[in-house]
Chain A
Amino acid sequence: MPQLTVDGRLVEFKLGEKVIEVAKRAGVFIPYFCYHPGLSVVAQCRMCAVEIEKMPKLQTACSTLAAEGMVVHTRSEKALQNQKSVMEFLLINHPLDCPICDKSGECDLQDFSYDYGDPYSRYTEERRTYIDVDMGSVIQKNMNRCIHCTRCIRFGEEIAGIREMVALQRGNQTEITTIEGKPLETQYAGNYADICPTGSLGLKDFRFKKRVWMLKKTPTICEGCSRGCNMEIHQDSQVIYRCVPRENLEVNRYWLCDEGRFHFRSYQKDRVLFPYFKGKAVDWSLALESCRNILRGKKLLVLVGSDLTQEEITLVQEVLALDHAGSLLFHFGTPGMSSVSEDGDADGILKRKSKTSNLHGLEHLGIRGWDGLGAQAEALLVVRAGRAQWGKLPSLPSVGLGVFQESEAKQLDVILPGLNFTEKDGSVMNFQGKLQFFRRAIAPQGQSKGLAELFMMLRRDKASEVGVAS
């Protein structure tokens, strides 16, 4: 393999790799703004310019192809001076409003200013200002903070497949905005905020909600569809503030759709957080007794949401084998979709037709889709994690375990509140057959309990029958 030298370190590279990538692998970080591994290279910000022996001018590491025997100096006097000067140029018209900016704390401009910039400004002229347009429901714009890296423009064109962000005017007056000031249309708008290296494009949903350094981050898997995008839950004091994508080049690369990003919000209102009986909150003993009356000794129709984890499904199967032999077990999740053969690409970007995360896992365990019929059963048990949707439930005495909305509560006789994906550990299998694990980010809300605990409580009287201490 060919080799080059970065700051004295010999490193191998593959033909076609750029200096910035090779350096990163060698453990040498070269600062950049406009470069993004998932987007085309434009070499506009000039921050990554490095000195390469035998080349008279500084070369941008993002656009320069690695070559055999190349000797790169990322911290030479010339390179450092350039970084300092680029920082100065970028900041002369920046409002320096970090104290009220949501990006503060995770801002490339802010971080690199500390690392590579000069603490003093020599600029005494009037700063450039813009009037912001409304960008729709997802993104809050602040053009004064923009450093014209054009990542957003390239994201729209190259990833989201929509040309909606553009550069207007030119030179010092260049404004990055939407065509004709229209609101954003893409269903991937949240990524604009992720890739913006400053606080110019931020999430409206997150605006002024939390300083980012307060947030605790937990790796998770989005439960929005069968792709299983890798993401992170950011919470503080058991309150989730946002979800952001986590890089996984095989699944979602660097991106996340808005539906998945904001899905956690659906659990923050109107969720059944207490035991319910006939649509009303009741105490546990009444709810449990009602459940036992409905389920005990009956042949059941069991509907499991394809949003449950592999671990939960296995548990359900075991309990049925113990207590309800001969019951019928089916999965549900996306109305109109009864098997993985109907799943497919939904928009050519990330979204899949199956609107739950574990359809493929359930079928892998041998569970088939529910055809919507009541079958020959005496009672109905519905288990789900909150995302799976049903069409119409058969009119049987029914029990629901898991996460339900207030509006759904009347459709089930008894509900025992369970956990959603942010409150538990587990694994789900995506459409590629990839088993992905996620961790619990926050404690169970209200009186919600894990499925194992709910089953334990239901089976307590049975447990005493076989001699286990109750």
Chain B
Amino acid sequence: MSSEKSTTLFIEHFQPECRFLHYYLKEMEGYQGLKKAFGMSPSEVIEEVKSSQLRGRGGAGFPTGMKWGFIPKQSSVPKYLVCNADESEPGTFKDRDLMRYTPHLLLEGMLIGAYAIGARSGYIYIRGEYAREAVLLQEAIEEAYAARYLGSNIQGSGFDFELTVHRGAGAYICGEETALLNSLEGKRGEPRVKPPFPAQAGAFGGPTIVNNVETLACVPFILRRGGPWFAQLGKLEKSGGTRLFCLSGHVKKPGLYELPAAGVTLRELIYTYGGGILNDRKLKAVIPGGSSAPVLTAEEIDVVLDVEPLMKIGSMLGSAGVVVVSEDYCVVKLIQRIAKFYAHESCGQCTPCREGCRWMEEVLERIEHGKGRTQDLNLLLQIADNIQGKTLCALGDAAAGPVASFVKKFQSDFEAHIRGGKCPN
């Protein structure tokens, strides 16, 4: 990997002073994308975003332009644009910096999105733990209202948009878009049966688009410089733009790295950008896309960090939260902790997730504490298999996939726990 400087969109603006409107207008071509959008028809805006190859940055990687295209042009009920700022996937911390340092980028992205889909009101659903970011967002929104970038007849365009920050109460599941909408409506935060999809009936029954913070923050650049320009930033056909990779765990230089989408391998991210493993220990495992991504071993890191390449080897890019684990750490303990998280965060609606996640956690806890039995590994794989693909939402998969992958890839570590009657680490 060459160390030449590639184009970045966000990271040079991750400074405290960048959050203010005057900085945004002066240094970041602020609200120029919106201006351009107002000169286009909504469907032209959607086409522009389609041509940018922007794909959702929340985890699923769905093409954003196509998603916007699902919204019916005519609707008897109000349409909504909702920003998913719940960023609850463990190992992910990109949206926080985007909101902290470049909130107007998000606001402009939302305005463009709202214009494209015909929404007059929008919400930013921010996780409860991001108390400070919620305040900063609110300040940015007030700035935007004062400067007539929000409210009625925005910049004389005739377009109205009201934006509200809604704080969550601390549930992982509220990052799932339909659970988020339930929570937004004041209901219990649990996913809805799909169909209907949010684009048909979402917030308050109206056609709704839910986009991740990073996704929306990309949109102003697409309008300013054109979809094709954005698309060429990415290194694979289907993935345009840059991506914020959240590197954490046992690396020398953890942090946020903005790199071309599909532009680096996992090895390059860890060793070239991250400076290698802490204390120069050996790499044991990597979780490439937030804790719900199936684990990779040290032999599997020559994979390009993007949606399809990772899917091909049985994992996923998810939210691009890369968690690095050195040989010093017990992988059984790690997956037990991850399983505990998902059991705790399961909403409890559907049977396999409610019962299965807890069961996996209990078995893993026994193994970690030396009370495992040889048949437990098979049992874990079977429980995981009985959850995967059979739950109401993706949380079941998020819990079962990692467990199955850890058991399969680090079988000897589990067996050592069972044989020795204790954790060898």
Contacts and interface: CB of A to CB of B under 8 A. Distances in A.
A209 interface: no
B350 A45 contact: yes
Interface in B65-103: none
Interface string A26-61: 000000000000000111111101000000111010
Contact of B352 (A42, A63, A86, A125): A86
A148 B366 CA distance: 27
Nearest to A47: B351
B44 interface: no
B152 interface: no
B193 A63 contact: yes
A86 B359 contact: no
B272 interface: no
Interface in A65-88: 65, 81-82, 85-86, 88
Contacts of A63: 193
Given A43-B193, A44-B392, A89-B386, A171 B358 contact: yes
B39 interface: no
Contact of A172 (B171, B188, B348): B348
Interface string A164-178: 000101111110000
Contacts of B343: 171-172
Given A43-B193, A63-B193, A172-B343, A58 B390 contact: yes
Given A58-B389, A85-B386, A174 B355 contact: no
Contacts of A46: 350-352, 390-392
B345 A147 contact: no
Contact of A86 (B351, B366, B379): B351
A191 to B, nearest CB: 22
Contacts of B351: 44-47, 86, 89-90, 147-148
Contacts of B355: 89-90, 92-93, 172
Interface string A86-122: 1011101100000000000000000000000000001
Contacts of A437: none
Contacts of B171: 170
Question: Which of A86, A90, A172 has the largest number of chain B CB atoms within 10 A?
Answer: A172
A43 B347 contact: no
A455 interface: no
B193 A49 contact: no
Interface in A395-451: none
Interface string B369-393: 0000000000100000010011110
B369 to A, nearest CB: 13
A123 interface: yes
Interface residues of B, number: 30
Secondary structure dominating the interface of A? loop
Contacts of B363: 125
Interface string B159-195: 0000000000001010000000000000010000101
B362 interface: yes
B193 A41 contact: yes
Contacts of B362: 125
Contacts of B195: 65
B389 A172 contact: no
Contacts of A56: 389
Question: Which of A56, A58, A123, A171 has the largest number of chain B CB atoms within 10 A?
Answer: A171
Contacts of A47: 351
Contacts of A148: 348-349, 351, 354
Nearest to B342: A171
A174 B354 contact: yes
Interface in B327-353: 343-352
A170 B348 contact: yes
A148 B350 CA distance: 8
Secondary structure dominating the interface of B? helix
B285 interface: no
A93 B356 CA distance: 11
B346 A44 contact: no
Question: Which of B195, B349, B358, B362 has the largest number of chain A CB atoms within 10 A?
Answer: B349
A122 B347 CA distance: 24
Contacts of B390: 46, 49, 57-58, 82, 85
A20 to B, nearest CB: 13
Contacts of A147: 351
B392 A43 contact: yes
Given A82-B390, A85-B386, A172 B349 contact: no
A45 B359 CA distance: 17
A85 B352 contact: yes
B343 to A, nearest CB: 6
Nearest to A62: B193
B330 to A, nearest CB: 21
A175 to B, nearest CB: 9
B359 A167 contact: no
A125 B346 CA distance: 19
B357 interface: yes
Contact of A122 (B357, B379, B389): B379
Contact of A173 (B188, B348, B359, B366): B348
Contact of B347 (A41, A82, A86, A170): A170
Given A85-B390, A92-B359, A172 B354 contact: yes
A57 to B, nearest CB: 5
Given A44-B392, A125-B362, A171 B352 contact: no
Question: Which of B343, B357, B386 has the largest number of chain A CB atoms within 10 A?
Answer: B386
Contacts of A123: 359
Question: Which of B171, B344, B350 has the largest number of chain A CB atoms within 10 A?
Answer: B350
Interface in A140-196: 147-148, 150, 167, 169-174
A89 B356 contact: yes
B350 A44 contact: yes
Contacts of A45: 350-351
Interface in B178-219: 188, 193, 195
A85 B383 CA distance: 8
Given A49-B390, A123-B359, A167 B350 contact: no
B391 A171 contact: no
A170 B358 CA distance: 12
Contacts of B350: 43-46
Contacts of B359: 89, 92, 123, 125
A134 B398 CA distance: 38
22 contacts: A43-B193, A46-B350, A46-B390, A49-B390, A56-B389, A58-B389, A82-B386, A85-B352, A85-B386, A85-B390, A89-B352, A89-B356, A90-B351, A123-B359, A150-B349, A170-B348, A171-B347, A172-B354, A172-B358, A173-B348, A174-B347, A174-B354
Interface of A: 41-47, 49, 56-58, 60, 63, 65, 81-82, 85-86, 88-90, 92-93, 122-123, 125, 147-148, 150, 167, 169-174
Q: Which 3 A-B pairs have the closest CB atoms?
A: A174-B348, A85-B386, A89-B355
